[in-house]
Structure 1
Amino acid sequence: MGEKMLYGIGLVIIVFLFFISIFGLLSILVAYIIDSFSQQDNFYLQKSNDLLIKNIMSFFFPFFGIIFIFGIFLFASGNGITFLIAVTTVGLATSGWLFTNYISSRNSIRQHTVTVLTQLRMSTEFMKNANKLQPLLEKGKTIDLEYYDSLSSSENTEKDAIRYILNYLEFVSAGIRHGDLDEKLVRAAQRGMFIGAYGMCKPYILELNIKNKTTFEHLIAIVDRWKY
């Protein structure tokens, strides 16, 4: 009796390891395929961990359901109790791991986004430069490269403000496109600033981008995505 029990436990462990390997490899493979085709506009340069885990879950749960139903069928026919136990154990363990990691990754990205936005918004340097650009925005001023270069030494603070704010917007845009910042949260909090600053400086931004395609490339992509 003892030998049979040990044999059964050993068999369950072997089947457990086998199925968790199969589930893991197939889930990662299908997630990669889904990831390759889900964003055909190539907006995201690197997907965040929560999106990758979400893709894995979208495959794992249906696949687990099919295997589980098959296990029940075997059990009902008088066979496959070990198989059903192994599948159930693997499925529940993997489901818990995926869900926990998805929530953890999602919360981590959101917390990081809130921290970045709060730190920059509370920065005296940021507020100083934003306040310098506000009068130009209210007057409907359009800034192009010629205007930017024509600013005299006495107007260097305005020049610095333009460069500072645009660099900030580019930094945040790059963070979103690389999956480090939460797009929905940034859009809800700062869409107006992105659209307003870009609209005012559009000629200047595009002139620089023509000379060097990497200059403000992320800001341009964000505004194109958010403008409607």
Structure 2
Amino acid sequence: MSDSAIDYPTLRGDAEIIEADGHGEKVLRLADGSYLKVFRRKRLLSSAAWYPYARRFADNAEALARLGIPCPHVIRVHRFPIIRRDVVHYRPLPGLTLRQIIQGAQPEIDTRALLGQLGRFVATLHDAGVFFRSIHLGNIVLGDDGRLGLIDIADMQAGRRPLPRFKRKRNFAHLLRYREDRAWLMADGGQAFAEGYAAQAGKGYAVGDLQAWLNATAGAGR
């Protein structure tokens, strides 16, 4: 990835700051509706020096697109060595996050149907070899077309083979890490999600076994 031909202030212009922390801006919305996600290189000697998270975001978006999984559309990746920032410029995935939905943004939603859809979606990711460490309800979007997709995809691996069982269990732990997410997904003991997952994953993934995984993980996270 080469250095950007423009400087960061010019790129950001009068963008609206969506997210920031003590180190500066993290997510910005430009006037045309596109977004900038800013990655700070925390250490001089780290893997981010030669494979920046902005580049990983773009590569993961390309991998997901090949698999037919909805995700943001990357416009360009920028590197700004002077300020030690890497930036991905992208168009967002239209829709609402599942966290927005469970917080009441779409009150008419059929919860059980959505849980089943989520189970099928996660199984689809796992069967395709996708291990998304940042999977949680704030990073899963119900698109305007009714399909589920992923956002904030820098921390992801896309392999060539289906995930083994131990990695699927580990990814369930990521999915259940937040209390609010966990309460919604496990309100029925994980049954609707497990039924959806089993229907997609097929042989070797029984509903009862999946529920046991979920309940054990949920119990450990309380």
Name the TM-score class by shorter chain.
Answer: under 0.3
| Structure with the larger helix share | 1
| Structure with the larger strand share | 2
TM-score (norm 2): 0.28
